[in-house]
Amino acid sequence: MNLCTLQDESSAARCLSLIERHATRMIKMGGGRLSTEYPNMQHPLTDDGRAQIIALAATAETVSEIAAGTGWSGATVRKVLNRAGLPTPYLRQTGIKKGAPAKRVGPRHGEISAQ
């Protein structure tokens, strides 16, 4: 049995120690600097932003291109395209259809090996 010593601190203990040491400073700062790291968190997605994402989706080859062109994250781009009923560029290029998989019509593996 391996016992933990003060020299061998776990990752969870180090994380809790960091939180304990810096929590008061972060609370005073308002939780961090999200406004400079994530500029789009400051304003909601507008209809114009949605229209811009949908317009770029027709010609862009990747979600990353759309995200770079509009300034929104890839997750936001995928969410807008999904709600608009449009495939992402990858699904459009590969021809993969979204939705439930097709029903199996062939024999199961157990039936094949039993013969």
For the stretch 2-32, pLDDT in tens is 555 555 668 888 888 888 887 777 776 665 5
Task: Specify the pLDDT at position 34.
Answer: 46
Task: Specify the pLDDT at position 108.
Answer: 65
Cα 88 from Cα 99, distance rounded (Å): 14
Task: Specify the pLDDT at position 90.
Answer: 78
Closest CA to 84 of 101, 68, 70, 98: 98
Supply angle C-alpha 36, 42, 45, rounded to 5. 130
| Claim: this prediction has a pTM higher than 0.85 | no
Q: Is residue 53 part of a domain?
A: yes
Domain with 63 in it? 34-94
Q: Is residue 45 part of a domain?
A: yes
The two tokens of residue 63 are 């979600």
Half-sphere exposure of 9 (CA within 13 A, CB side): 10
Distances in Å between the Cα of 100 and the Cα atoms of 9, 78, 79, 96, 104 are 47, 19, 19, 12, 12
- Number of structural domains found in the chain: 1
Q: Is residue 86 part of a domain?
A: yes
Q: Is residue 17 part of a domain?
A: no
Q: Is residue 46 part of a domain?
A: yes
Q: Is residue 72 part of a domain?
A: yes
For the stretch 45-100, pLDDT in tens is 889 999 999 999 888 888 999 998 888 888 899 999 989 988 888 787 787 776 66
Task: Specify the pLDDT at position 80.
Answer: 92
Q: Is residue 85 part of a domain?
A: yes
